[in-house]
Structure 1
Amino acid sequence: MGKVQGFGWPGYTVIKTKKGVIRIPFLTFWDSGLGQHFYGLGCYLCSDHTNTPTDISLADPWTLPHELIRRLGGATLVVIRSEKGLEVFEGAVKAGYIRAVEVNPIYAIQYTTLLKLSKRVLGRNISDYMLSPGFTTITHELLYYVGRFLASRESLWSLLRLYHKTIRSFAFILAYALDYKLQTTWAKVNMYITLMQKKKLSST
């Protein structure tokens, strides 16, 4: 039995076995390749990273200063979209279950949010994809399918870490550079969001 994330932030991946409990720092687990390739196609194809139909969405605060969050023992980004959601959330704050600090909504937009909003090119014509594909998003799609293939065959797991650390990393660096060199729509949106987040951080 396992738990992908917990115990503070960014927390640990926890695996329970008959012999005991194994805790792996989440960033170590995620960067190993195991975290980024063992998930289903439906999750990958989802265009709604922030789950917009919900009253309340929760997210990892990757866009906020990590050192501050670690000193606090953990944090979660909360996006509230309805009066009912706000009522429930404020009730939890007043009851002392959680502590809350309001931050700019720009922090809810993360790198993965933009990846998921980008149109897939391999036969997935879904109207919810709002951004045209860039080199980074096309590369992300192709690499996902390669990683998924390796992850689905235990005999190839020894190649998965090598693939993740070398081919995948190099391909992303090249694609990212091409997007910014040619100023694709995806690059412009990503650059704008990043600059806005940095501007907000510097003014706080």
Structure 2
Amino acid sequence: MMVDVGWAYELAGELLRESLPRRWAHTQGVAGCARRLAPLLREKAGLLEAAAVLHDIGYAPNLVATGFHPLDGARYLRNVHGADERVVRLVANHSFALLEAKERGLHDELAGDFPLLGDPPLVDALVHCDMTTTPDGGRTTSQERVGEILSRYGEDSVVGRFIRRAAPSIHGSVDRVRAAAAEAGIEL
């Protein structure tokens, strides 16, 4: 099944471009990273790019329901748009969202509504794209990105506690993608 990447860009742009321009810049950077990984993911490239451009739509002010953007965004995609289930599950679980959901008391809700997608290379690719892109859409390392998140939210915040717990897994995903890309001759 093909995923409509153009639709994903249109929807994400409508939701983020004006209300959250910095988040939109980040989203575009994440999507650009997904495009660079297309040769590695071949037939799943469109799926990754659609998930990349939609991963943060749950921050859009008119979508906030629980205050947890992966859950809010995934529910909107599923309930309002009937989006491809794989895209919805990637959005719901991007960048180890289950660990943050646990911090927020939403683990069972997220895991029950949106089980993890059983495609580790695809999941790793989305983590890589999100966690090597700055809030302004530039490129960075996962170490710098984790540090930036900690400095923005504070170590004792919900996000700070989550990102500290998730950091080893985040770095592992990024390392696996970089190794696969290098083996395939893809420059990141």
TM-score, normalised by the number of residues in structure 2: 0.29
Name the one with the larger strand percent. 1
Task: Indicate the structure whose relative CO is greater, using CA pairs within 8 Å and at least 6 residues apart.
Answer: 2
- The alignment's TM-score, normalised by the length of structure 1, stands at 0.27
Whose radius of gyration is greater, 1 or 2?
1
